[in-house]
Chain A
């Protein structure tokens, strides 16, 4: 048994979610190799080589892979993955983009967004917005699996000393090109990595009012999230959306402010350790899953909260 883990990175740094994927690979068992595919990404390979329980790092460093275009990455992963029993990646927008292409190229199913490994061919995954958990068994020769970022604690980033091997085959499909990106400048922890998150919903009324959350976030070292309604209304950008179709988070503390608690929002945060809800409607469904509920007007409660921290 052997697993190929596809590293998530931005050519400069390895993303912590990769450590979670390696943890899932360890739960499967067998040898673990990591593929670092990118452009000018050798520093990432050096980082990957230090991860515990990794046998080998495969470094595919070529301009064709710089922007993780699925048309170029997928054939590479499929070519290399054919030599393994498992191919794993994170269930992030990067993994979601290329991994199904890998599976189809290999002619196998993909098991998306797993939260647990029962055995090398049997996995647990949520569906129906997390309202049901399926135990799924694969009869495919190669299991292609994407892993939820909150499924496991990441393995240690240091302690290993894997060899780095260069991959020479280049796949440049010529079907797509990168034009530009607007990556949000983060002054606070990244949502999926934060241990405290404070999120605002439609009840915030405007983007300007998110300042009320910022003061608290600064004091707590928290990340700021949002409901779909707040994103759709243009209060905040899309990368802040938590939920079934946004980001899945499970911090130690999640504070939901002016969020009603629709199942699609709960799907993204109900595995948080402690949930706080601040809402002026005492019947809002968010209170059904909140450990601590405060029925209050957020415009009064938030300044008070900031002052008390």
Chain B
């Protein structure tokens, strides 16, 4: 069984981003970039499927600028067998990514496509579900447990009320939640090995797809700042403030 893992290059989760003064976007100069944390979890799950003998090949794919090769090399070091970059300078949006990935899937014919549930820069939470719609596949979103058995996927999903279990036919789209697994670190020998692994690069045009976005970002602003608060000295003072100043408790 082949597993395809779409990975996004994003700003590191620990970076406190700044909005550009001219409101044109977020300042990304000299900011540390990484594999989107949810995609790291997806790679880990795919590699575990291979180690367990469920999967035979793990292919990582990114859609974006040439520098995404760095993140794809990381995925190769973490255990992916080969990588594909669909290279574009367009500020690509979920429907464009899903369309490009659909064209790749037509070549790859993967059985399991493991997305992250959300990119931590865009916070869209759309791409996996869109890809599933375009390819007519079932989806197991926000997965905290996945088992592949007898030609079916069994997925435990983290939903607002608790947990839900579903089963689906294959091929299937899975999107990962935080508690699916804990990703490993790449070892030095594996980082060296990753340099020799295969990486193919296509353009959207070569795949015959148009990835032009239909959403235009008019402006980007920082969120409103909260007025500075105070420190209270004791629990009594806290209760007094909440009752008499903020008036939020009776």
Across the interface, B179 reaches (CB within 8 A) one of A110, A126, A173, A238, namely: A238
Check if B218 sits within 8 Å of A232, measured CB to CB.
no
Bound complex: CA A110 to CA B130 (Å): 10
Complex contacts, B16 vs chain A, CB 8 Å: 131, 263
Of the stretches B1-9, B64-72, B184-192, B209-217, the one at the interface is B209-217
User: When the two chains form their complex, are residues A291 and B214 in contact, meaning their CB atoms are under 8 A apart?
Assistant: no
| B98 is an interface residue with CB less than 8 A from chain A | yes
Instruction: Report Cα–Cα, A29/B238, bound state, in Å.
Output: 44
Of A94, A102, A245, the residue contacting B118 (CB under 8 A) is A245
Query: How many interface residues does A have (CB within 8 Å)?
Result: 90
B236 within 8 A of A: yes
Q: Does B22 contact A (CB under 8 A)?
A: no
| Interface residue ranges of B66-116 to A (CB < 8 Å) | 93-95, 98
Question: Given A112-B125, A291-B246: A122 and B218 within 8 A (CB)?
Answer: yes
* A74 neighbours in B (Cβ, 8 Å): 133
Knowing A100-B125, A130-B223, say if A274 contacts B231 (CB, 8 Å).
no
Q: Once the chains are docked, how many angstroms separate the CA of A292 from the CA of B240?
A: 11
Q: Does A101 contact B (CB under 8 A)?
A: yes
A113 to B117, CA, bound (A): 14
Q: Within the assembled complex, what's the spacing in Å between the Cα atoms of A110 and B95?
A: 8
Interface residues in B122-138 by Cβ distance below 8 A to A read: 122-134, 137-138
Question: Is A27 an interface residue, CB under 8 A from the partner?
Answer: no
Contact B168 A176 (CB under 8 A): yes
**Which residues on A sit within 8 Å (CB–CB) of B98?**
104
| Interface of B, helix, strand, loop or mixed by DSSP | mixed
Render B209-250 as a binary contact track against A, CB cut-off 8 A, 1 for contact.
000011111111111001011111011101101100010110
| Residues of chain B lying within 8 A (CB to CB) of residue A182 | 162-164
Which of A34-42, A47-55, A135-143, A150-158 is found at the contact surface with chain B? A135-143
- Which residue of A is nearest B123, CB measured? A127
The CA of A174 and the CA of B91, in the complex, are separated in Å by: 36
Q: Residue A309 at the B interface, CB < 8 A?
A: yes
Residues in A whose Cβ lies below 8 Å from that of B239:
305, 308-309
Pick the contact of A104 from B95, B169, B228, B231 — CB < 8 Å? B95
State which of A238, A244, A252, A264 has its C-beta within 8 Å of the C-beta of B163.
A238
Say how far A198's CB is from chain B's closest CB, in angstroms. 11
Q: In the complex, how many residues of chain B place their beta carbon closer than 8 angstroms to a beta carbon of chain A?
A: 78
Whether A308 lies near B236 (C-beta < 8 A) is yes
- Taking a contact as CB atoms closer than 8 A, the residue among B128, B163, B229 that contacts A293 in the complex is B229
User: Which A residues fall within an 8 A CB radius of B?
Assistant: 67, 69-71, 74, 92-94, 96-105, 107-113, 122, 126-140, 173-184, 192, 196, 220, 228, 231-232, 237-239, 244-245, 247, 252-253, 263-264, 270, 273-276, 282, 287-296, 301, 304-305, 308-309
- A sample of 19 more A-B contacts (CB under 8 A), given A128-B120, A175-B138, A238-B177, is A70-B132, A98-B129, A112-B123, A113-B123, A128-B121, A129-B123, A130-B223, A134-B220, A135-B221, A136-B215, A138-B215, A181-B161, A182-B162, A232-B179, A238-B158, A253-B242, A291-B229, A304-B235, A305-B238
Hey, which bits of chain B sit against chain A, CB under 8 A? 11, 13, 16-17, 19, 26, 93-95, 98, 117-118, 120-134, 137-142, 144, 154, 157-169, 177-179, 213-223, 226, 228-232, 234-236, 238-239, 241-242, 246, 248-249
Q: Which 4 residue pairs across A and B have the least CB separation, nearest first?
A: A175-B138, A100-B129, A104-B130, A104-B133
Q: List 13 A-B contacts (CB under 8 A).
A: A100-B133, A101-B130, A103-B126, A104-B98, A104-B130, A113-B123, A134-B219, A181-B164, A237-B163, A238-B144, A274-B242, A291-B230, A292-B246
